Amino acid sequence: MRIDRDKFGTLPDGRVIDLITLRNRAGITLRVITFGGIIVSLSTPDRAGDFDDIVLGFDTLAGYLGESPYFGAIIGRVGNRIANGRFVLDAVEYHLATNNGPNHLHGGIRGFDKVVWEARTFERDDAAGVVLTYTSPDGEEGYPGRLDAAVTYTLNDRGELVVDYSATTDAPTVVNLTQHSYFNLGHAGSDVLAHELTIDADAIVAVDATLIPTGALMPVQGTPFDFRVATPIGARIDADHPQLQLAGGYDHTYVLGAQTRTPRRAAFVRAPSSGRTLEVETTEPGVQLYTGNFLDGSIRGEGGVAYPHRGGFCLETQHFPDAPNQPAFPSIVLRPGDRYESRTIFRFDATSD
Ligand code: GLA
């Protein structure tokens, strides 16, 4: 029995939110809810074989309805920022919510992290999964066109969580979906600064004071952004670098290259305290490294644990921020008849040292 389905909670409007539990042969357990497609927990073994939850989250639906900083959620229609909440597509100007200073962030006031998804589970010989679907009506959060979106989480016996995204539309629109899990491969309640991180990228998308791309791709060579060789996340996080100061740490898109048909490695993380490792592969052109700079100990998550400053890290695979206003960036425009498709693989393991 690899799959369970239970009730997680009830929304104020009476809709019931389900909890889907997926297990692999090794005992890795993924728990997902139909609200926001949120991964509420992910339990993996450390070097001694002891299981622990490696994502930040809440015990109850109330936590996610409160001030959750996108813990574990699907982000859409457009992840990351759109400058001043406006863009032009086919000579029509569209206006979106400005929910992050002057800018639009993570799909708006009620993005895909706050909607109820339909869930259909499936089981294979070597895997269990859930297909989440949501139809975003034309004009929702200001975006044009109806968008039929599907996100599939597959947990297989190779220790991989495969996330497949797809979407179609009935009118030209923009789409850039991602997954906003905060990982802590060590111990929840501690920071992730000792985690050793590798990112296979030569450049980042440089940003301005409101974290909107300047248009420049900044080479990482010789900067605190260079993670081409495994380096502790905290080794240079407070360095005197303007890009770090603007974001209060790492909150930047790393440039992986052109979109690919099959996933290639983007990042690798290892927690020396537990031996746990996480490898991220993706078809996307970028990955946003966010080091929980806005966490400050005020949010209490599972078991009442306070999540400290930099108590988790996110590796959000995606197209670049503000793509609709940056003609040189890979396009996120989706047209009727075309299909948006994207795959990211999170691979979990532990080293003996
Ligand atoms: C993304 C953004 C960050 C922040 C987090 C959630 O990573 O880039 O600035 O909004 O989401 O707090």
pLDDT band at 213 (very low <50, low <70, confident <90, very high): very high
Average pLDDT, the chain: 97
Q: Are strands 203-207 and 276-282 parallel, antiparallel or unpaired?
A: unpaired
Residue at 251: amino acid letter: D
The secondary structure of residue 84, as a DSSP letter, is: G
Q: To test the ligand 1 pocket, which listed residue (290, 294, 317) has its Cβ within 8 A of the most ligand atoms?
A: 290
Protein residue closest via CA to atom 6 of ligand 1:
69
Q: Render pLDDT for 131-186 as a digit per residue (tens, 0 to 9).
A: 999 999 999 999 999 999 999 999 999 999 999 999 999 999 999 999 999 999 99
Q: Does ligand 1 lie within 6 Å of residue 288's CB atom?
A: yes
Q: Does ligand 1 lie within 6 Å of residue 71's CB atom?
A: no
CB atoms within 10 A of CB 321: 26
Closest C-alpha among 330, 244, 242, 325 to residue 286: 330
Q: Does ligand 1 lie within 6 Å of residue 263's CB atom?
A: no
Q: What confidence score (pLDDT) does residue 208 get?
A: 97
Q: Render pLDDT for 69-103 as a digit per residue (tens, 0 to 9).
A: 999 999 999 999 999 999 999 999 999 999 999 99
CB atoms within 10 A of CB 126: 11
CA of 148 to the centre of ligand 1 (A): 25
Place of tokens 């795959």: 343
Q: What confidence score (pLDDT) does residue 270 get?
A: 98
Mean pLDDT, to the nearest integer, of 32-49? Answer: 98
pLDDT band at 200 (very low <50, low <70, confident <90, very high): very high
Q: What confidence score (pLDDT) does residue 353 get?
A: 81
- pLDDT for 1 beyond 90: no
Distance CA 250, CA 195 (A): 14
Distance CA 133, CA 351 (A): 36
Q: Does ligand 1 lie within 6 Å of residue 70's CB atom?
A: yes
CB atoms within 10 A of CB 9: 17
Atom of ligand 1 nearest to the CA of 290: 7
Q: Render pLDDT for 301-335 as a digit per residue (tens, 0 to 9).
A: 999 999 999 999 999 999 999 999 999 999 999 99
DSSP letters spanning 200-235: --SEEEEE-TTS-EEEEEEE-TTSTT--SS-EEGGG
The secondary structure of residue 243, as a DSSP letter, is: H
Name the β-bridge partners of 88: 93
Q: What are phi and psi of 262, to 5 degrees?
A: -115, 150
Mean pLDDT, to the nearest integer, of 24-42? Answer: 98
Q: What confidence score (pLDDT) does residue 233 get?
A: 98
Q: Does ligand 1 lie within 6 Å of residue 69's CB atom?
A: yes
Q: What confidence score (pLDDT) does residue 219 get?
A: 98
| % the chain with pLDDT above 90 | 99
Q: Where are the alpha helices (DSSP H) in 11-88?
A: 61-65
The CA-to-CA distance between both ends of the chain, in Å, stands at: 33
- Residues designated as active site: 180, 316
Q: What confidence score (pLDDT) does residue 319 get?
A: 98
| % the chain with pLDDT above 70 | 100
Q: What is the pTM of this model?
A: 0.98
Q: To test the ligand 1 pocket, which listed residue (38, 64, 105, 315) has its Cβ within 8 A of the most ligand atoms?
A: 105
Q: What confidence score (pLDDT) does residue 229 get?
A: 98
Task: Compute CA distances 61 → 9, 121, 193, 294, whole Å.
Answer: 6, 21, 29, 22
Q: Does ligand 1 lie within 6 Å of residue 251's CB atom?
A: yes
The secondary structure of residue 114, as a DSSP letter, is: G
CA of 2 to the centre of ligand 1 (A): 33
